[in-house]
Amino acid sequence: MNKATLKFNNGNGALLCSGCRVILKEMLAVDENSELEEQYCDECINTNLSEQEWIELITEKCAQYNGGKHQRVGQAYMNALFKVNKRLYEIISGTNNDCFYDDDKIINFIRFCNK
């Protein structure tokens, strides 16, 4: 699980969207060591790939993967997403759905893009 994005101002905490960093809610009783899970605003949580983008993603992923000579599958998916939908890439990047460094997260990546 990824930790929530928090912001502190004069001792007051706020929970931010882990995608676009908009304030989701003020949180008075929270500290920097909080174990809250990451959360997203409605706009970020509803960002999916369209059918056309899925076709482009798979095509681009295959081009990037090139038989595994240069990239792992997870890397190829993330690099393909960067080209196809940069906004979704930025939302996913660095979260538990980011499969760039870990192919075991590819299933998270696919679920998030298709939620």
Residues interacting with Zn ion, by CB under 5 A?
17, 19-20, 41, 44
Of residues 40 and 109, the one with the C-beta less far from Zn ion: 40
Least distance CB 17 / Zn ion (angstroms): 3
d(CA 109, CA 91): 11
HSE-up of 100 (CA within 13 Å, CB side)?
12
* Min dist. Cβ of residue 34 to Zn ion (A): 19
Provide, rounded to whole angstroms, the least separation between the CB of residue 24 and Zn ion. 8
Give 19 or 74: the residue with its C-beta nearer to Zn ion. Answer: 19
**Given 3-state DSSP classes, what are the helix, strand and coil percentages for the chain, each rounded to the nearest 5?**
45, 15, 40
